[in-house]
Amino acid sequence: MLFTVLHNFLSFFERPRCCAAVYLFFVGGIAFAASSNALAATQQNADEQFAAQEWSAAATAYRALLDDDAGNATNRFRLARALHELGELNTAQVAYQKALDAGYAREPQLRYHLARLLATEGRLDSALIELERLAELGAPSGRVIATTGEFLLLQDDSQYGPRFAQVVETLTPCTAPEYRHFDFWLGEWEVTAAGSAGVIASSRILSAQDGCAVTEHYTAGSFTGMSLNFYDSTTGQWHQSWMSNGGGAVHLAGGLNAAGAMELADADLPVSEASGTVNKVTWTPREDGSVRQLWEQSSDKGENWAVVFDGIYTRR
């Protein structure tokens, strides 16, 4: 079929040299396209084998790809990972370094696996140097480092243990004192209206996301609501977003006031400008361990305040 097409195509040309040139151009284009398609298929196959953790096949495929494109940093890294999992540690280390030299974009990922390899070989000092580099890069999380099996020897070693602990602490987010400012609200609570003994609701306040957030789960009969509370180190403020099954949303921002109470408001948020009202909620820890929550609202930009809710949280 192909040669029939070529014969018909060439019949338009009378001069042999012209025909030969066109013929070579046409066939060359077909060969180039076939080569490109084959290369794409090979890359796809290599990536699929890598994803399936078929390490031997993946290593073979990536070697073949690198023969044609030695500067591909991603393929360099994936070859290193495959060799690492196959236990070819010396070759894998060389491949990791070549991937780094080629500019592999995800440097923390590469150095993490390189540290694993070095620790497996018992080269604890070199492994720790890589981990300290990760601490400078800011990734991965301290939890990942602390739970990686290859690093247990570092953790338990009298010489390296303190440095390893420092790496984990540096890579553990949300450890600054500001993230603990709302911890006094954590717990299981019964809620009463101020000045009344009758329980009107229950509330569970939980630490979430490894201490980076506080979640509220409020139940008062058929009415339920929840909030997400967190400290934003960029703005230097605490934020709360509340939503109930009644569809009412509240967004607040602020922090600890001079008295040590958490005071959040929406005075400077777009929602306040849209509604024409200002909401302010203050949580005050009390000496007996309870917490007072006072929600106030103003329709004159804070000149006068009306109480929306005044409740006492008592631990169960």
Kindly report, residue by residue over 260-300, the tens digit of the pLDDT.
Answer: 999 999 987 887 777 788 999 999 999 999 999 999 999 88
CATH 3.40.50.1370 fits 178-315, yes or no: no
Strands (E), 142-277: 187-193, 199-208, 213-220, 223-232, 237-244, 249-256, 262-265
- Count, in order, helices (H) and strands (E) of the chain: 11, 10
Average of pLDDT values for 181-206?
A: 94
pLDDT of residue 40: 54
Query: ∠ CA 289-292-294 to the nearest 5 degrees?
Result: 170
Name the strand (E) or helix (H) holding 306. strand 306-315
- 35, pLDDT greater than 70: no
How much is the pLDDT for 301? 82
> Residue ranges per domain, the chain?
39-171, 178-315
Q: Is the domain defined by 39-171 classed in CATH 1.25.40.10?
A: yes
Beta-carbon contacts of 43 under 8 Å, excluding residues fewer than 6 positions away, are 65
Q: Write the pLDDT tens digit of every residue in 107-135.
A: 999 999 999 999 999 999 999 999 999 99
User: Which of 199, 147, 137, 197 has its CA nearest to residue 171?
Assistant: 137
What pLDDT score does 41 carry? 55
Is the predicted pLDDT of residue 31 greater than 80, yes or no? no
pLDDT value at position 24? Answer: 39
Q: What is the overall mean pLDDT for the chain?
A: 88
* Helix, strand, coil percent values for the chain (each to nearest 5): 45, 25, 25
pLDDT band of 11, cuts 50, 70, 90: very low
Distances (CA, A) of 123 to 91, 114, 126: 16, 11, 6
